[in-house]
Amino acid sequence: MAAIDLSPLWLSLRVATLSTLCVVLAGVALGWLLARRRFFGREALDAAVTLPLVLPPTVLGYYLLVLLGRGGPVGRAYEALTGSQLVFTWRGAVIAAAAGALPLMVKTARAAVAGVDTQYEDAARTLGKSEWQVFKRVTLPLASRGLLAGAMLAFARALGDFGATLMVAGNIPGRTQTAAIAIYDATQAGRDSDAVALVLVLSAAAFALLYATNRLSAAGHDS
Amino acid sequence: MLEVSVRKRLGPGFTLDVDFAAPPGVTVLFGASGSGKTLTLRAVAGLLRPDAGRVSAGGRVLFDSDSGIDIPVARRRVGYLFQNLALFPHMTALENVEFAAGGVPRGERRGRALSLLERLGVAHAAGRRPREVSGGEAQRVALARALAASPRVLLLDEPLSALDEPVRLRIVKDLKELNEELRLPVLYVTHSRDEALLLGGRAVIYERGRVAAEGSPEELFAAPASETVARLTGVENIFEGTVVARDEGAGTMSVELKGPGGLACRVEVPLGQSAEGARVRVAVRSGDILLAAEEPHNISARNVLRGRVSAIEERSAHTLVRVESGVTWAASVTRHALEQLGLRPDREVWLAFKTYSCRVYE
């Protein structure tokens, strides 16, 4: 039996880590905005950000292709700046995985920030603290448990992204073939043992992350 | 000097509309819950934006609807002790105070925070989280935190309501002492007469979003200017009655108080404007009523009523005796007097009080 090719797994880990980083930054900002600021179209923004959770991955992938492709606004700007493309690269895979994971982060971040008693923030303001300091020293630490749970959910989701990644980044072994895509590829080609190894690893990782997330929320209720 | 003049409509049933000034020292805001005391504090702190008005502290305008000035909360330098204190649960007591000392150079923050905790007698709790300190200690830490930010005004929202009386009174005393040095205008919201009297200074009495009276707590409590003030300041005996006779020569009038079940009792009160037959309210402090085990003779009190003890209620500093005499009177006596008179429920007893202990609201 040939050695199992684990390179898709490493690519998946790298893509999921990078997209989680982006998702945490954007998700915390959006979650705070949705929880703490009243503005026109707030719920519309929430709905738009949540869409990837319910849309078919192919629809999300299609939108991303339109945006990131050579003719799309983001793709064109990126190419002008760096001279390279986004579509059919691992960077494209990062963006696709991030788009799929963002709703999970935004939803948990909004709930986590909303769960912080505004009186703490008001108290910090009366002590002369700027809005940034209030956020950094009061809101963020008090919401940290929920935010961490959100980040872990987002990572788990990014690790397993399939449809959107396939449409945006393609299936290029060694370059854009993530674990989820490699499983599809292996079963299509009849290489079942390759598929099983990746299936088991992905399942175990997802289970561990969900379990840890639950433990985190349960501990949050106790205190 | 803190000058507060704010108007804020909150729904159809309630408008906050108050105007008062607080000199350095403690100004007690006194009134029923929902009368707008906390809203006033929030408007001063900048957490509530008034529809109109002006707030200034030491000549610095914090809010002025006419000139569109609305200084953000963080730049008002208004210390605020929330009712639940809002000590940051993820920081120790020391970190809470250090966090507030942001205006001090980094290297000096810890020292300043420690000396404030020491000044308030809670240096021993410096390393503890808020949930690990007692209620009284938490109050002191919160006060240290508010002071660490060098406020120009201090707002305290029923800061001690959750504490036992001895702890509470000690903190009130310390706060008063502390402020003799700082000379900050302090707005102090409370329900407690004891606290109001202990803190001295001035009192502003709130009634449904408006100022019903202001002055020294002693004056306000001794001679309430209106029936509502009397009620708020804890005058225990307030009865409705009808003027039955006027004696212009003696400067008195007789009022028949209506009790439940058609019973009545007649009292002599100072002469007012009301004509015979007019309805009035009569208020008497429980502390102004004497109790006698036998019918008193040859005493100056013009009101001597025979009654029956219906209940005896132990309070912290005195005992309240309820006496049925057409209406139910409340009289405060010391425990000592209670024993000496042999008072117990159902015993016959005489009430005596002076004409001038009665206040009439016409």
pLDDT recorded at residue B215: 86
Percent of chain B residues past pLDDT 70, beyond the cut:
97
Q: Do B207 and B350 fall within a single domain? A: no
| Residue B315 binned pLDDT confidence (cut-offs 50, 70, 90) | confident
Residue carrying structure tokens 């009289």 = B331
Q: Which residues contact B318 (CB under 8 A, 6 or more apart)?
A: B287, B332, B333, B334, B335
Q: Which whole number is the average pLDDT over B110-129?
A: 93
Collapsed DSSP state (helix, strand, coil) of residue A126: helix
Find, among B327, B219, B311, the residue nearest to B319 by Cα.
B311
**Using one digit for the tens of pLDDT, what is the confidence trace for B242-270?**
999 999 999 999 999 987 777 788 999 99
**Tell me, what CATH number does B194's domain have?**
3.40.50.300
pLDDT recorded at residue B361: 80
Would you say residue A1 lies in a domain?
A: no
Show the CA angle centred on residue A41, arms to residues A40 and A45, nearest 5°.
140
Q: Higher pLDDT residue, A193 or A36?
A: A36
Instruction: Spell out the alpha helix ranges (H) of B26-128.
Output: 37-45, 93-100, 106-119
B90–A142 C-beta distance less than 8 A? yes
Q: Do B165 and B254 fall within a single domain? A: no
A141–B102 C-beta distance less than 8 A? no
A130–B86 C-beta distance less than 8 A? no
Interhelix angle A140-159/A192-222, rounded to 10 degrees, is 160
Q: Higher pLDDT residue, A222 or A210?
A: A210
Number of domains present in the structure of chain A:
1
Which of B47, B62, B70, B73 is the best substitution to test chain A (most A C-beta atoms within 10 A)?
A: B73
Which of B75, B80, B84, B85 is the best substitution to test chain A (most A C-beta atoms within 10 A)?
A: B80
Residue carrying structure tokens 């895979």 = A93
Residue type, B77: R
Would you say residue A26 lies in a domain?
A: yes
What is the distance between the alpha carbons of residues B356 and B301, in angstroms, rounded to a whole number? 9
Collapsed DSSP state (helix, strand, coil) of residue B322: strand
Would you say residue A2 lies in a domain?
A: no
Q: Which whole number is the average pLDDT over A61-86?
A: 91
What is the distance between the alpha carbons of residues B78 and B80, in angstroms, rounded to a whole number? 6
Q: Higher pLDDT residue, B57 or B234?
A: B57
CA nearest to A123 within chain B = B86
B82–A128 C-beta distance less than 8 A? no
Q: Do B227 and B208 fall within a single domain? A: yes
Strand partners, B292: B350
pLDDT recorded at residue A220: 57
**Tell me, what CATH number does B342's domain have?**
2.40.50.100
| Residue B173 binned pLDDT confidence (cut-offs 50, 70, 90) | confident
Encode A186-223: b = buried (16+ Cβ within 10 Å), e = exposed: beeeebeebbebbbebbeebeeebeeebeeeeeeeeee
Q: Which whole number is the average pLDDT over B302-308?
A: 91
Which residues from B are below 8 Å from A138, CB to CB?
88
Collect all residues from A whose CB is shorter than 8 A from any CB in B.
117, 119-120, 122-131, 133, 137-138, 141-142
Q: Do B214 and B266 fall within a single domain? A: no
pLDDT recorded at residue B7: 96
Find, among B188, B94, B185, the residue nearest to B144 by Cα.
B94
pLDDT recorded at residue A144: 94
Which of A122, A126, A132 is the best substitution to test chain B (most B C-beta atoms within 10 A)?
A: A126
Q: Do B44 and B128 fall within a single domain? A: yes
Q: Which whole number is the average pLDDT over B111-123?
A: 92
* Residue A217: both structure tokens together: 């929320």
Q: Which whole number is the average pLDDT over B24-40?
A: 90
Q: Do B183 and B70 fall within a single domain? A: yes
pLDDT recorded at residue B316: 67
Q: Do B196 and B253 fall within a single domain? A: no
Can you list the pairs that B256-259 forms with residues at least 24 positions away whose Cβ atoms lie under 8 Å? Answer: B257/B282, B257/B326, B257/B327, B258/B327, B259/B326, B259/B327, B259/B328
Of B200, B232, B264, which closes a domain? B232
Q: Which residues contact B209 (CB under 8 A, 6 or more apart)?
A: B14, B15, B16, B17, B18, B35, B36, B39
ipTM: 0.83
What is the distance between the alpha carbons of residues B320 and A67, in angstroms, rounded to a whole number? 80
Checking phi first, is residue B117 left (phi over 0); if not, alpha (psi -120 to 50) or beta? alpha
Of B197, B232, B267, which closes a domain? B232
For residue B218, pLDDT over 90 is answered with: no
A119–B100 C-beta distance less than 8 A? no
CA distance B43 to chain A (A): 12
| Residue A146 binned pLDDT confidence (cut-offs 50, 70, 90) | very high
Q: Do B228 and B278 fall within a single domain? A: no
Domain range for A74 is 7-222
Q: Do B111 and B196 fall within a single domain? A: yes
Q: How far is residue B276 CA from its own chain's centroid?
A: 36
Q: Which whole number is the average pLDDT over A70-76?
A: 90
User: Which is it for strands B359-361 and B69-70: parallel, antiparallel or unpaired?
Assistant: unpaired
Mean pLDDT of chain A: 91
| Residue B197 binned pLDDT confidence (cut-offs 50, 70, 90) | confident
Q: Which whole number is the average pLDDT over B174-183?
A: 86
Q: Do B226 and B241 fall within a single domain? A: no
CA distance B11 to chain A (A): 20
Q: What are phi and psi of B151, to 5 degrees?
A: -75, 160
Is B109 an 8 Å CB contact of chain A? no
Number of domains present in the structure of chain B:
2
Strand partners, A92: none
Instruction: Spell out the alpha helix ranges (H) of chain B.
Output: 37-45, 93-100, 106-119, 135-148, 165-182, 193-199, 217-222, 227-232, 335-341
Of B216, B232, B248, which closes a domain? B232
**Tell me, what CATH number does A163's domain have?**
1.10.3720.10
What is the distance between the alpha carbons of residues B39 and B16, in angstroms, rounded to a whole number? 8
Domain range for B259 is 237-361
Q: Which whole number is the average pLDDT over B7-19?
A: 92
Which residues from A are below 8 Å from B78, CB to CB?
126
| Residue A3 binned pLDDT confidence (cut-offs 50, 70, 90) | low
Contact predicate A125/A50, CB 8 Å: no
Q: Which whole number is the average pLDDT over B112-139?
A: 93
For residue A178, pLDDT over 70 is answered with: yes
Candidate from B46, B90, B102 with C-beta closest to A129? B102
Find, among B264, B288, B290, the residue nearest to B343 by Cα.
B290
